[in-house]
Amino acid sequence: MKILVTGGAGYIGSHTIIDILDNTDHEVVSIDNFLNSDPETFERIKAITGKQVRNYNIDLTSYSTLKNEFFLKEGHIDGIIHFAALKAVGESVTKPVMYYQNNLNGLINLLKCAQKFDVDSFIFSSSCTVYGNAEQQPVTELTPTQTPESPYGYTKLVGEKILSDLAKTKLDFQALSLRYFNPVGAHISGMNGELPKGRPNNLVPVVTQFASGWVDDLVVHGTDYETRDGTAIRDYIHVSDIAHAHVLALEYLNTKKAASNYDVFNLGSGNGVTVLEVLHAFEKVSSLKLDYQLGPRREGDVEMIYADNSKATSLLNWELQFGIEDAMSSAWKWQKFLNKAKSGDKVPL
Ligand code: UD1
């Protein structure tokens, strides 16, 4: 099959490309405009897999460019995995129009092209943010979604709705929304990982960059939650496990195992872990002591969320390979790789 991965240079997109190239015969082509990623990612993918991925530097919000410069040139595409989107929750509150424009217009243009060029399989990057502050934990796919706290969250909820509405009108179109919990860690080689532009927002890159002196402070946001140590609980899931779920999801669509032509899956580990437990896991695997500060809650954060992942494990045959310590040690290996690259030392690309 020929698979279009949008956001192929991004964090989850690049790990998914690596998994597809390592474990299937599919051809991969990427669209990424490097808004929040780096062209060098494709060099790293090549170093890991031995394969060069063709990337189109196209802004998905331009329908005519997408149609003329990608779909008309590439020929038939069998499936689309759509990662390309903005994901900083706080930034989405201050720049809502940019988030709606980028995340929703990008999705809509892709779907217009999917209809025009007969692409029947579509996998959408959604998020556990659609569950909001759910009362019952762990959350299953049947847990009701809630009004999102942020424009970012809305773009995921609306994205899911667009797909389910489209699936109702077009029975030969199959779509899945994959609700990611907190993807963390890096490729086992330590040669590919998360590298947001500017100061990271997400916990694990803040931790590894703080340990390397790239950021000045590490603040635990909130110590008065009703959890075992007062800090918020999340479901941290290794990015390579998330990536592999996409390969299984493609197979699931391709073998027409799905009972309906639209469905959602939770991609989480099933374990709730506190912020302090993440920091301690890092300290354990790195043998470093983190001089973190305790601070107030971060606006918009929920107290606790973790997944019931049994639907993905049973229907997609998803088996998790990694735990939180594997995630922290691979993230640290990746950070040390970046430190070497920054210092001008030769990195093993
Ligand atoms: C949120 C969304 C997730 C989305 C992601 C995109 C929820 C529940 N989760 O992740 O679905 O994909 O944004 O970015 O809505 N923390 C600190 N100090 C820091 C950074 C983070 O204490 O410097 C804490 C946060 O307060 C939170 C935890 O670490 O409790 C995880 O934060 P983060 O990595 O930013 O992810 P979420 O906000 O959970």
pLDDT of res. 144: 97
**236 Cα–ligand 1 center, Å:** 10
Q: Tell me what pLDDT residue 256 has.
A: 75
Q: Which domains are present in the chain?
A: 2-341 (3.40.50.720)
Query: Does the pLDDT of residue 222 top 90, yes or no?
Result: yes
Catalytic residue among 56, 99, 131, 152: 152
Above 70 in pLDDT, residue 213? Answer: yes
Say what the pLDDT of residue 349 is.
47
What pLDDT band is residue 342 in, cutting at 50, 70 and 90? confident
Does the annotation count 131 as an active-site position?
no
CA of 203 to the centre of ligand 1 (A): 6
- Residue 198 pLDDT grade (very low, low, confident, very high; cuts 50, 70, 90): confident
pLDDT, mean of residues 324-341: 96
Q: Using an 8 Å Cβ cutoff, are 63 and 112 in contact?
A: yes
Q: What pLDDT score was predicted for residue 196? A: 82
Residue 273 has pLDDT above 90, yes or no: yes
Mean pLDDT calculated for residue range 263-290: 98
Q: pTM value?
A: 0.96
Token pair for 218:
């590490």
Centre of ligand 1 from the C-alpha of residue 320, in Å: 21
Give tens-digit pLDDT for 105-160.
999 999 999 999 999 999 999 999 999 999 999 999 999 999 888 999 999 999 99
Q: Work out the pLDDT band at 269, boundaries 50, 70, 90.
A: very high
Rounded CA gap, 345 and 316, in Å? 42
Residues 6 or more apart in contact with residue 206 via CB below 8 angstroms: 199, 200, 215, 218
Residues in contact with ligand 1 (CB, 6 Å cut-off): 87, 89, 127-129, 180, 182, 201-203, 206, 219-221, 232, 234, 275, 298, 301-302, 305
Amino acid sitting at position 113:
C
Q: What does pLDDT average to over the chain? A: 95
How is residue 141 written in tokens? 């796919």
Comparing 37 with 347, the larger pLDDT belongs to: 37
Per the DSSP assignment, residues forming a β-bridge with 234 are 273
Q: So what's the pLDDT on residue 345?
A: 60
Which of 155, 126, 152, 153 has the alpha carbon at shortest distance from 141?
126
Q: Which residue, 143, 26, 133, is CA-closest to 81?
A: 26
Q: What is the pLDDT of residue 341?
A: 84
Tell me the pLDDT tens digit for each residue of 53-95. Answer: 999 999 999 999 999 999 999 999 999 999 999 999 989 999 9
Helix axes 151-169 and 106-116, enclosed angle (nearest 10): 20
Nearest CA to ligand 1 atom 31: 203
Q: What pLDDT is recorded for position 343?
A: 77
Residue 346 confidence (pLDDT): 54
Assess whether pLDDT exceeds 70 at residue 347: no
Instruction: Report the atom number in ligand 1 closest to the C-alpha of 275.
Output: 29
**Which residue has its alpha carbon closest to ligand 1 atom 13?**
89
**Closest C-alpha to ligand 1, atom 8:** 129
166-189 mean pLDDT: 96
Q: What count of Cα atoms within 13 Å lies in the side-chain half-sphere of residue 187?
A: 23
The token duo for 94 is 């201050």
